[in-house]
Amino acid sequence: MILVLNGPNLNLLGRREPELYGRMTLEELEDQIEAWAAELNVAVTLRQSNYEGQLIEWIQQAEGEGFAGIVLNPAALTHYSYALLDAIAAQPLPVVEVHLTNVHAREPFRRQSVTAAAAVGQIAGLGPLGYKYALAFLTEKAR
């Protein structure tokens, strides 16, 4: 069972800067992730929050809830949230950080991820497929 977490403003996908993030809504992205999970024969739980504290609580609770790994798009929190970094580091599950866009090809402040230091790895710039590959990795790791 894999937990997929999306952070602030990702509820606006489809409407938000579509030239960067595409026209797919969060609901469509989540449907797509569920289809990939079915192909991989793994259960997924999908959650989104605009609140740092909510994301931290979900990360803290994930092991107790029986998840084997976390796919995390921390959105803008990536670039400054030491609280999210500490939450990832404080728990044992492998976390794969995913970004829809290539954060390394955008504004300089996006090149730094403070959260990736506690993640197993980072996938950036592959659009929705990043979630698929993160899911495939965590599924294989859990088996």
12: annotated binding-site residue?
A: no
Neighbours of 26 (CB within 10 A): 17
DSSP symbol at 77: G
* Six-digit token string for 77: 């929190």
Question: Would you call 21 a catalytic residue per the annotation?
Answer: yes
Q: Min. distance of Cβ 139 from ligand DQA in angstroms?
A: 21
Q: Which of 9, 32, 50, 54 binds ligand DQA (CB under 6 A)?
A: 9
Distance CA 134, CA 70 (A): 9
Q: Where are the alpha helices (DSSP H) in the chain?
A: 18-21, 26-40, 52-61, 82-89, 129-142
Whether the CB-CB separation of 3 and 45 falls below 8 Å is answered with yes
What are the phi and psi torsion angles at 40 (to 5°)? Answer: -85, -5
Binding mask 73-102 for ligand DQA (x = CB under 6 A): x-xx-x--------------------xxx-
Q: Compute how many residues bind ligand DQA; rule: CB under 6 A.
A: 10
Question: Would you call 82 a catalytic residue per the annotation?
Answer: no
For ligand DQA, the binding residues in 110-139 under the rule CB under 6 A are: 110
Nearest residue (CB) to ligand DQA, 78 versus 139? 78
Interface with ligand DQA, residue 29, by CB under 6 A: no
Using CB under 6 A, list all residues that contact ligand DQA. 9, 73, 75-76, 78, 99-101, 103, 110
Per the annotation, binding residues are 73, 79, 86, 100-101, 110
